[in-house]
């Protein structure tokens, strides 16, 4: 009796699909001509759709589908990351004033380093004047100066150049901070307008 009920359940299914030639096919079992497309499963008694049978794909089609799914997932992750970044920006900077304060604070640290480097550069310039005064004793001819004085003059010049490069680098960093905050501000203005 149980076998009869199972058999009647299987016979009660009707598979239907439209094949590659546009013909509507119907069968009491999955239709091989429609393996590459979805098949509707109808109740054999009422004729209502009771489900669908997914298409069977080739290995190449499965690879393509997997690749498309990976791309879709990557795009969803990128969108979630963008939304999360926007939420964080809005929490960090609720208005333009807060953004301006953060910009000035970031630049303030760099300016303090530049100020310290400028003081050191001034000290090196003073040392350069003192060394030039010593060189006057040797008629400003470095070849006549003692080795110690020559080394000091050379070291001083290298230190001045190094300090100037350092200051230029910090000024570049200050400019990059401004550029970064300008980009953030443009994005925030778009977000605040929503």
Q: What is the pLDDT of residues 76-115, one digit of tens each?
A: 999 999 999 999 999 999 999 999 999 999 999 999 999 9
Domain boundary among the residues 34, 66, 92 is at 92
Assess whether 172 and 124 both reside in one domain: yes
In sequence order, the 6+-apart residues with CB closer than 8 A to the CB of 130 are none
Assess whether 114 and 142 both reside in one domain: yes
Model confidence band, residue 1 (pLDDT cutoffs 50, 70, 90): very low
Please give the residue range of the domain that contains residue 44.
Answer: 13-53
Residue 101 lies in a domain: yes
- Angle subtended at Cα 109 by Cα 107 and Cα 110, rounded to the nearest 5 degrees: 65
Residue 48 lies in a domain: yes
8-50 pLDDT, tens digit per residue, is: 555 578 999 998 899 999 999 999 888 888 999 998 888 888 8
Residue 114 lies in a domain: yes
Q: Residue 162 pLDDT > 90, yes or no?
A: yes
| Mean pLDDT within 118-130 | 95
Tokens of 96: 């333009």
Assess whether 110 and 144 both reside in one domain: yes
The more confident residue out of 186 and 61 is: 186
Task: Label residues 62-75 b or e (16+ Cβ within 10 Å = b).
Answer: eeeeeeeeeeeeee
Sign of the Cα pseudo-torsion (125, 129, 130, 131, in order): positive
In whole numbers, what is the pLDDT of the chain averaged over residues? 89
If one counts the domains in the chain, the total is: 3
Assess whether 131 and 174 both reside in one domain: yes
Assess whether 189 and 127 both reside in one domain: yes
Nearest-angstrom CA–CA distance, 68 and 23:
30
Nearest-angstrom CA–CA distance, 27 and 179:
68
Model confidence band, residue 62 (pLDDT cutoffs 50, 70, 90): confident
Assess whether 86 and 117 both reside in one domain: no
What local confidence, expressed as pLDDT, does residue 126 receive? 95
Max CA distance (Å), the chain? 124
């Amino acid at each position: 009796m149980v076998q009869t009920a199972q058999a009647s359940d299987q016979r009660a299914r009707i598979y239907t699909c439209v094949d590659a030639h546009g013909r509507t096919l119907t069968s009491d079992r999955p239709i091989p001509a429609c393996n590459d497309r979805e098949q509707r499963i109808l109740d054999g008694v009422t004729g209502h759709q009771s489900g669908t049978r997914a298409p069977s794909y080739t290995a190449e089609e499965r690879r393509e589908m997997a690749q498309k799914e990976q791309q879709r997932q990557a795009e969803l992750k990128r969108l979630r990351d963008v939304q999360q970044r926007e939420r964080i920006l809005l929490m960090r900077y609720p208005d333009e004033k807060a953004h301006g304060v953060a910009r000035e604070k970031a630049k303030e640290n760099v300016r303090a380093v530049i100020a310290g480097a400028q003081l050191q550069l001034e000290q090196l310039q003073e040392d350069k004047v003192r060394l030039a005064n010593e060189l006057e004793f040797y008629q400003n001819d470095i070849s006549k100066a003692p080795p110690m004085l020559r080394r000091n003059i050379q070291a001083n010049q290298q230190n001045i150049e190094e300090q100037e490069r350092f200051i230029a680098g910090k000024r570049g960093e200050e400019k990059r901070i401004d550029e970064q905050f300008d980009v953030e501000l443009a994005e925030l203005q778009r977000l605040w307008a929503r």
